[in-house]
Chain A
Amino acid sequence: MADFTPGNRPNALARAWDSDIAWSFRHSPLAVIAAFVSILIILAAVFAPWIAPHDPFNPASLDLMDGFTPPMEPNAFTGNVYWLGTDNQGRDVFSTILYGARISLFVGFMAVLFAMVLGITLGLIAGYRGGWLDSLLMRVADVQLTFPSILLALLIFGVARGFIPPAYREAMAIWVLIVAIGLSDWVQYARVVRGATMVEKNKEYVQAARVIGAHPAKILIRHILPNVMGPVLVIATIGLALAIIAEATLSFLGVGVPSTQPSLGTLIRIGQGFLFSGEWWILLFPSITLLALALSVNLLGDWLRDALNPRLR
């Protein structure tokens, strides 16, 4: 005799669960605004080659005479008008921001992906195996946490560059940066995943799989991984904001991406030099973009954390 549950249509509750998140989103104006800003910047960055009025990396399209044009004012020599003005080399600031955001976001996403894959893998293994392997990995994590991550990224960046032949340094710089930021950030993924894995592995559904002799790798990937992804997504979202800022910091310090491919951080470093000579727009607009991007992604992460936590609902 089947249990009687009136009104139980297929997937009715699955839909309800999905729409719980959707409902929480609709009722959080901050989350809606943050999502709008993030998506706007991400889309603008992705489609930069089609949106940007100029190609800032094509020397042929640059005119040094256009240099230092203030925003919304015609250039004294050429009469060209730029929304956000131009920099010292006559590059359109709006276009450089679009291209810069593209690089910042690429580095951010890739660094988060790298940290996530590394952290999840080590966290799953440490949490499931336990014992000396767990102790070893977590002590390494503890030691790493005692260093500020930006310092660590600087160190990794410096060491990695030492190993790369000078001819490839320029081309490899962005990947070195990604690895440096990712390596400095895997610990929090590993810790969260390890904790969640230790809880999940003792649940009866995992025991049921062990009783039939399922392979540990299969248990980890098919059973445990989907159940520990919730908190990982939250960290990844907030981590994206942090990675973008880390990249900007490194680029600002001059150890990040080469200035031929300026990211937002590079633009800020360049613009900083002109602040006191009166060309404020070269610094201000990239800074605002970076701030808006990091803040909105961070706010999204905060909202996601609350929405996924049933106790705060």
Chain B
Amino acid sequence: MSDVLLSVQGLTRRFDVSKPWLNRVIEREDRQYLTATADVSFDIRKGETFALVGESGSGKSTIAKMIVGLLEPSAGEIRFDGKVMDFASGAAMRALRRRFQMIFQDPFASLNPRWRVGDIIAEPIHTFGLLKGAEVTREVGRLLDLVGLSAADAEKFPHEFSGGQRQRIAIARALSSRPEFIVCDEPTSALDVSVQAQILNLMRDLQDEFGLTYLLISHDLSVVRHMSTRIGVLYLGRLVEISDAKRLFIDPQHPYTRLLLDAVPDLALSGRRRTPVTGEIPNPIAPPPGCAFHPRCPHVMDICRKQRPDAIPTASGQAACHLLTPEGQKPRETTA
């Protein structure tokens, strides 16, 4: 269980958000860059579900896209099963590409509306040349069956299905190249809760059956808690905390994690009074200096405004907060 399947080191992505050249010259502005992901490192072990949580602008989708090759990293390295992923080298990547897949957020956009379901699911099979002729049809039927649809559905078009059924089709497509690793980018955020439960259960069943490894991208802490073994919390493109899933919810180390947990509405009606959350996410083009979270942090200290905290090992992972360093002292929280 401890073998690392995917390893990310110092992953950084900058986007050029400058105005067009002529505007820049006339308005005397410099080029502007948005750092969506900055120096992110983590490992995902075989068979686990690693979740990345964060709000908008946290860079979680950018990381997912870099891992599957939809975006090129500005810096950093991604290793899959020990091999460096170099998406520029077509031949070498082909064998690797078969081993990972992606499930997208919007099942209404992730299936080509002009294709029959059978062709959609068979596309990876054809692209990797895995099967031929009647075998493809049989395999598509088997996959449809696996995700809870019927083989006859292969003849239909995507618009004949509900959102939940479409997400099942997308999962069947992801499974068709028999991958080991699946990146799930907000797989249920476009679905209703009762359908979300079906999809989450299906994902867990498939994980058990095929020993899949998941990278789950989500903004929903309840979903993340239900699905994952380890969790990375992102804020403005940086990892603020990595922790075992169970520990994160019991004993969050970073103040931002605590804030996120507090913001989840309390369905149990325990009468728990939430700590009022203040402020909003700053503009990622000009993030605050030092610790990016300092303007919203209830425990902010002088050092936080000047110096960016490094990741420090904790009991269940790591966290990047000055409170955990010898310079800062961790305040004892009395409220859970």
Could you tell me if A226 and B128 are in contact, using CB atoms closer than 8 angstroms? no
- Contact mask for chain A residues 182-196; partner B; CB cutoff 8 A; 1 contact, 0 none: 000000000000000
- Contact mask for chain B residues 145-182; partner A; CB cutoff 8 A; 1 contact, 0 none: 00011101001110111101100101001000100000
B50 CB–A CB distance under 8 Å? no
Partner of A212, one of B97, B105, B114, B152: B97
- Tally of contact residues, B, Cβ under 8 A: 44
A residues 61-77 touching B (CB-CB < 8 Å): none
Closest to A213 in B: B97
Could you tell me if A204 and B101 are in contact, using CB atoms closer than 8 angstroms? no
Chain B residues near A312: list those with CB within 8 A: none
Bound complex: CA A207 to CA B106 (Å): 12
Closest to B87 in A: A213
Could you tell me if B110 and A213 are in contact, using CB atoms closer than 8 angstroms? no
Could you tell me if B155 and A208 are in contact, using CB atoms closer than 8 angstroms? no
B281 CB–A CB distance under 8 Å? no
Q: List 15 A-B contacts (CB under 8 A).
A: A3-B165, A5-B161, A11-B157, A12-B160, A13-B159, A205-B111, A207-B65, A208-B170, A210-B70, A211-B100, A212-B123, A212-B127, A212-B177, A213-B69, A213-B127
A161 CB–B CB distance under 8 Å? no
Chain A residues near B155: list those with CB within 8 A: 10-11
Chain A residues near B94: list those with CB within 8 A: 213
A143 CB–B CB distance under 8 Å? no
Chain B residues near A223: list those with CB within 8 A: 112
Could you tell me if A208 and B173 are in contact, using CB atoms closer than 8 angstroms? yes
Bound complex: CA A13 to CA B160 (Å): 6
A167 CB–B CB distance under 8 Å? no
Partner of A1, one of B100, B148, B170: B148
A58 CB–B CB distance under 8 Å? no
A129 CB–B CB distance under 8 Å? no
Could you tell me if A212 and B165 are in contact, using CB atoms closer than 8 angstroms? no
Could you tell me if A10 and B152 are in contact, using CB atoms closer than 8 angstroms? yes
Partner of A207, one of B104, B150, B162: B104
Could you tell me if A227 and B161 are in contact, using CB atoms closer than 8 angstroms? no
Instruction: Taking A3-B161, A205-B111, A209-B123 as given, write out 19 further A-B residue pairs in contact, using a Cβ cutoff of 8 Å, ordered by the A residue number.
Output: A1-B148, A3-B168, A3-B198, A11-B156, A11-B157, A12-B160, A13-B157, A13-B160, A203-B109, A207-B65, A208-B170, A211-B69, A211-B100, A212-B98, A212-B101, A212-B128, A213-B94, A213-B127, A226-B114
Bound complex: CA A210 to CA B160 (Å): 25
Partner of A214, one of B70, B113, B127, B159: B127
A260 CB–B CB distance under 8 Å? no
Could you tell me if A207 and B148 are in contact, using CB atoms closer than 8 angstroms? no
A8 CB–B CB distance under 8 Å? yes
Chain A residues near B106: list those with CB within 8 A: 204
- Contact mask for chain B residues 277-312; partner A; CB cutoff 8 A; 1 contact, 0 none: 000000000000000000000000000000000000
B328 CB–A CB distance under 8 Å? no
A residues 198-221 touching B (CB-CB < 8 Å): 203-205, 207-214
Which A residues are within 8 Å of any B CB, using their own CB?
Answer: 1-3, 5, 8, 10-14, 17, 203-205, 207-214, 223, 226-227
Chain A residues near B110: list those with CB within 8 A: 203-205, 207-208
Partner of A14, one of B68, B160, B170, B177: B160
Bound complex: CA A212 to CA B148 (Å): 24
Bound complex: CA A14 to CA B116 (Å): 11
Q: Which residue of B65, B112, B164 has the most chain A CB atoms within 10 A of its CB atom?
A: B112
Bound complex: CA A13 to CA B69 (Å): 36
Could you tell me if A3 and B162 are in contact, using CB atoms closer than 8 angstroms? yes
Could you tell me if B102 and A2 are in contact, using CB atoms closer than 8 angstroms? no
Bound complex: CA A8 to CA B123 (Å): 25
Chain B residues near A3: list those with CB within 8 A: 148, 161-162, 164-165, 168, 195, 198
Bound complex: CA A3 to CA B127 (Å): 29
Could you tell me if B123 and A214 are in contact, using CB atoms closer than 8 angstroms? yes
Could you tell me if B162 and A5 are in contact, using CB atoms closer than 8 angstroms? yes
Bound complex: CA A14 to CA B113 (Å): 11
Closest to A2 in B: B148
Bound complex: CA A12 to CA B123 (Å): 24
B211 CB–A CB distance under 8 Å? no
- Contact mask for chain B residues 20-62; partner A; CB cutoff 8 A; 1 contact, 0 none: 0000000000000000000000000000000000000000000
Could you tell me if A205 and B127 are in contact, using CB atoms closer than 8 angstroms? no
Could you tell me if A208 and B104 are in contact, using CB atoms closer than 8 angstroms? yes
Could you tell me if B109 and A204 are in contact, using CB atoms closer than 8 angstroms? yes
Chain B residues near A211: list those with CB within 8 A: 68-70, 97, 100-102
Could you tell me if B150 and A2 are in contact, using CB atoms closer than 8 angstroms? yes
CB distance from A265 to the nearest CB of B (A): 39
Whether A10 contacts B113 in the complex (CB less than 8 A), given A2-B165, A213-B127, comes out as no
